[in-house]
Amino acid sequence: MSSIIVVGAQWGDEGKGKITDILAKSVDFVVRAQGGNNAGHTILIDSQELRFHLIPSGILHPNAQCLITGGTVIDPGSFLEEVDCLRKEGIDFAGRLWLSNYAHVIFPYHKLLDKLYEKQKKDQAIGTTGKGIGPCYADQSNRIGIRLAEFVRPDILKQRLQTTLFFKNQELQIIFQQEPFLLDSLLEECDQLAAKLKSFIAPVEEWIAEALKKGKKVLFEGAQGTLLDNNFGSYPYVTSSSTIAAGIAAGAGIGPTQIDHVLGVVKTYTTRVGEGPLPTAFTKEEQKMFVASKAREIGTTTGRTRRMGWFDACLVRYSARLNGLDSMALTKLDILDTLDEIKICTHYRLDGIILESPPVLIEDLARVEPIYEVLEGWREKTSQVSSYEKLPEKAIYYLKRISELIDVPISMVSVGPDRKSTLFLQQFFKKK
């Protein structure tokens, strides 16, 4: 097996960072191919918590080249802040961290407009991170975006930025009564950032193609989750990029036939941050069984507490189909250890009709009735278990039932935030 896509199969926050980090120890390349610093992944190593947003999780492994491709959007300041954090932590990334010339750049006006749009929507706000991701992708689609290739060329940047600012300042002044951005001030700021970014720019898409041709081990790290996909997610409560496996391949500049395995990361219950329906949301009484901080359900990027609910097989079945999942990594099993009973949503009921997957309209998703199957909890600690076979019998039954409902085999089970708290049912890459 040479190439794997790790993709979130719910609304994000499934534990992709940890799974990527575990697999990255045995690969040659780790690739980010969509989204921006609106993503967040946390890795726990020997009780030390490391948080990343844009930089791939593989940066912790000295063998791994970390590539950020043209499908992403780059906030230069945020990227350089993450680089500084790596230096402070003593993580050696010299010659291992690279950016694509094709990646579009997030400017200050993108971030301002992101916040203004959300404020204007009032009770229909999406719950964005405010990082400027959506407005940046919108400019890309409108063909007034600016890529890193232009960003580091002062002569070209001035011309492109002048054109873009005409539209942005019109919008800011006329619609939102905001002060305009000044071309010279922006150019001065860009010049300083570009000088620091130049050393990170490389032909990363060519490197990926060559690596796959030579049979090198390449791991593609998805950001956000399938149900936030701009095309097939719970629209309009979605992100601005394609978060499914095919979107990741496109963002990396490769064909889907070059992917050997699609690994879906799935939490053993359901969470969501931001706005939008959560069909299996806990009742107030059920929520009392969980404490968000204990369950580690606080967003890495937003700092917001995530809403929690029971495992939703309807959503994950849909996600498995969209991604063509070959296997699943199930995470956070340990959070369920103390429960007397555990519910699984097997189907939805909408207007008397039984549904196998979520309806298209968000209004219909908000009013579906989850059909639950109730299982007995195992009431045993799983965080110290060293192999899948040693899990409590009822925990194994719960995992098998999820696999049956989704019709996708389980390859990994996480029973805690640390690297060591991971049980393998399948080996992907041999350790280098």
CA dist 384 and 76 (Å) reads: 41
CATH (domain of 69): 3.90.170.10
- Asked whether the beta carbons of 23 and 219 are under 8 A apart, the reply is yes
Q: Which amino acid belongs to residue 48?
A: Q
pLDDT reported for residue 47: 56
Pair (207, 194) in one structural domain: no
Quick check: is 303 in a domain? yes
* Number of domains present in the structure of the chain: 2
Pair (173, 214) in one structural domain: no
Report the chain's terminal Cα–Cα distance, integer Å: 14
pLDDT reported for residue 291: 60
Give the pLDDT confidence of 316-334 residue by residue, as tens digits.
999 999 999 999 999 999 9
Quick check: is 68 in a domain? yes
Average pLDDT over residues 90-99: 93
Count, residues in the chain: 432
DSSP-based three-state secondary structure for 351: coil
- Using the Cα atoms of residue 161, residue 67, residue 228 and residue 53 in order, give the sign of their dihedral: negative
Give the pLDDT confidence of 128-151 residue by residue, as tens digits.
778 999 999 999 999 999 999 999
Pair (115, 63) in one structural domain: no
Average pLDDT over residues 227-249: 95
Pair (160, 232) in one structural domain: no
pLDDT higher than 80, residue 112: yes
CATH (domain of 170): 1.10.300.10
Quick check: is 419 in a domain? yes
Write the CA distances from 431 to 7, 26, 27, 320, 340, integer angstroms. 21, 5, 8, 28, 39
Q: What is the pairing mode between strands 327-331 and 341-350?
A: unpaired
**Which one-letter DSSP state was computed for residue 106?**
P
Average pLDDT over residues 331-357: 96
CA dist 197 and 54 (Å) reads: 14
Peptide bond into 279 cis (omega under 30): no
Pair (194, 212) in one structural domain: no
Pair (196, 211) in one structural domain: no
CA dist 12 and 34 (Å) reads: 14
DSSP-based three-state secondary structure for 159: helix
Which domain does 274 fall in, by range?
A: 3-91+203-424
Write the burial class of residue 90 (CB in 10 Å: 0-12 exposed, 13-18 middle, 19+ buried): exposed
- Using the Cα atoms of residue 404, residue 406, residue 411 and residue 413 in order, give the sign of their dihedral: negative
Residue given tokens 């940047």 in the structure block: 157
Pair (248, 189) in one structural domain: no
Question: What is the greatest pairwise CA distance in the chain?
Answer: 67
Pair (282, 350) in one structural domain: yes
Pair (164, 208) in one structural domain: no
pTM: 0.93
Q: Which amino acid belongs to residue 55?
A: I
- Going by pLDDT thresholds of 50, 70 and 90, the confidence category of residue 244 is very high
Give the pLDDT confidence of 46-92 residue by residue, as tens digits.
556 677 788 998 888 999 999 999 999 999 999 999 999 888 888 88
pLDDT reported for residue 240: 92
CA dist 432 and 25 (Å) reads: 7
Query: Which among 96, 130, 94 is positioned nearest to 114, based on CA atoms?
Result: 130
Give the pLDDT confidence of 179-221 residue by residue, as tens digits.
999 999 999 999 999 999 999 999 999 999 999 999 999 999 9
Pair (46, 123) in one structural domain: no
Quick check: is 98 in a domain? no
pLDDT higher than 50, residue 398: yes
Quick check: is 97 in a domain? no
Q: Which residues are catalytic?
A: 13, 41
Pair (41, 185) in one structural domain: no
Pair (182, 54) in one structural domain: no
